[in-house]
Every structure is written in C-alpha cells, then in structure tokens.
Structure 1
C-alpha cells in the first residue's frame, strides 16, 4: 500500500531532522512518490546511509539547522516545492526542575528554527508556484501533559505559527499545515515505551490501543506535500489514534 510513484514527480522537498526516525521515513516516502529530496541533519553518517536508499534522488546537507551555513544554502535555492520542518527536541521534567538552558534550547529548536527556516525558504517556495510547508507538531500542541510544559508550549506555538502563515501566504499560493503525532515508535522512544508505567499510560490514552509508526506520520506528510491536499491550509492532521478526541 502506498502513494502513486508519480505523486511528487518533479518536485523538490527539503526535510530537516532527516537522519533518523520520522524524518528518515518522510524522506523515503517522498522519494517513493517521485520527489527529489534535500535531506538535512547534523550527523553525516546517518545521511550517507539514507542516501543509499535512492542516490539519484537524495541530496544530503550535513548541517546544523541553526547555523549560518545552513541558511546560506537555503537562501541560494531558486525553487522549492515543499518544506518539511521536522527537526525538534524535548526536555521532560517538572516545571520547577526546568533550567534556563532547557527553555532556551526548546524554544530555539522547536519554535525559532521553524520560523526562521520558513522565512528563509519562502522566496523559493513562492517561486515554485505552489509551495507547501508542513510543520511537525504533536498531539501536545492541542492538550497539556505533566512534565511536558516546554514541549507543549513549543508545539502550541507551532500550531499558532502555522495558522498565521497559512492566512498570510494563501494569496501567494503557499500552503502551510501541520502533522501532529502521538507517541511514535522510534529508537528514541523505545526505551520510554519499555517502562511498564509509561507504556500503560500511553495505551490507556490512545483509544485505538496501538503505538503510531513512523510510516503513519510520513504518509500524512506526503499527502500534505502533494496536490491531493491542494485546498487544505492552516490545519492539522492528528496521527494520534484518538488521543485528543477524548
């Protein structure tokens, strides 16, 4: 099961946080739908391994997305059909234990980078004639959760930014949406889900009683990056198994 192999044919998509997990799956799904993908991540080894999936369709940028070098390359793009702001971090702790460094790190990676990257990529997105931005949000952009004040704050901000940009850029034919997953099974979350108490909490909160897979999220991203969603902007697809419906 999958999208038509020509769905994104001829399109160039840039994906941040592309080396592992959801980002890696998004790159692979976009390539399978015919796109050329610029994969951005800090770890060169991860990107080199990813490039082997489709050497002719994947261009790798081993760069920090908050670096001057990254923004210079981004502004040099003459045309960009899709931008997937996937990179992000989390710092889990009670609010009284959160440090200034944690606060600054989460804001820089989850909010400021999304704004600055979208801003820098905008001329190239406009030049494409039908640019699309997909911001990686979370179910935590719609609800609250103990010990996740920083993450919830940042993802609520992403939802607000997405709506504002969707309205502002609509007349320039640039669409902006989010994908909002629940907990997804990745190498990073496997140790968390292995904890019996945490595992029980997650399953009790998801009516479908199953954990999302990276492909579930990537499929939604491909849809929003494609012309199948040509009349969709300023909204979110929640990949949460019903978590936020309760």
Structure 2
C-alpha cells in the first residue's frame, strides 16, 4: 500500500455514535446575524469527514443567530411565546444544515419535536435510531418541544435516547478554561474536568440541567474548537486538543 493510499483510509474511530451540539451563532460566520452559507458548508464538511470514518452522527443546532427566547423574554415578551419562537429558529438552522449536507451527497433527516410534517419528520425515537443505523445524519430540531429548556438540554436528552457515546460541544475555543481565554492570557485549559466541578465553578460548558442529565446518564461531553479544521475528525481518531467532561 502506498503512502497516499494509507492517508486516504480514515483512521479507526474511537466512538461509534456521537451527538454534535453547536450554537446557532456558529452558523453566522463573521456576520452579526443570520446564516453565512460558506460557514454552514464548512461545518457540513467537518460532519462529512466524521461520517466517512463510519461514525453515526446526530446533531442539535441552537437558534441564537435568528432568535433567542431568553433575550425576547428580557425585552418584555411572554417567556413561553419567546421560547417557541426560538424553537422555530432551530428548525430553520436544521434545514439549512440539511441542505448543505445533502449538497455533499449525504443522506440527512431533520426531526422536529414540534410536528410540522411538510418540512421535517416528527420525533419518534425508534425511527430516529433506525435512521442512524442506516448511516443517515439526523438533525434534531425544535429543542425538546417545551419552553424553559435550552438546546443544550435537548442535545443531552436526545443523545441519551439515541444511546450516543459522547456529546461533542463545538465552540470557538479548544476546550474548557477556568476563565475566558479571549479576555485573559493566563486562562488555564482543563484536559479533563468532572460534572460536579463544572457546576460548582459555574463554568460555561452547558446549562446546569444539561450537565446534570449528562452526569445522571454517564454521558461524557467533549468540548472542542469548531473553528479548527479537521478538529472533529481528529478527536474521533484519538488526536486533537479538547476538554473531556465526565465523572
């Protein structure tokens, strides 16, 4: 086998089924609002590279690039209405990501917690599992379908239901730090940290409900930089820089 041929063969993944959680803001690129198609395509290619390793991938995408329920509530909007608007924003992002993935030739399903049969499938756990077994990328939209729950909690819930082996939280930095590395040059990155430490130190990994649910189900959270080319694939090949949140 030549060196070029060996490089073409994906490294054996360390996990078989994972949840990728990204914020809606990750789809904005350098814009201040909405969707940036080149950024959506770049993330789709990251997902493609992981699926080509044989890993089953499901996703949850936030809606903050379009509408955030908490911000709407803070501005005087009724909280439940604001949260439902935020859920609809996640459906828009899921459809955008589906389009980018399918443009690469990948089979994708958007599954919504709020029924809207003309644009996506309703959430049925066994059907979603079957999609993953058929190597389709599944994007869960509309959060949990309930107000007062974030997409972090939705990602942890769906990952548990799908029997994922880990949640990959894509961010702008390469892990969890003791303070904001964008503002403090002496910020320390954790290689590994426990769920309890994340909660007690009020580290902004995921919201407290999501962390508690992950702890209860023994679901590790891998925090990594979504801006690092090949970072998602590299971690699954046993390489890369990240922080692992677990017991």
TM-score for both structures, normalised by structure 2: 0.36
Bigger proportion of residues as helix:
1
TM-score for both structures, normalised by structure 1: 0.36
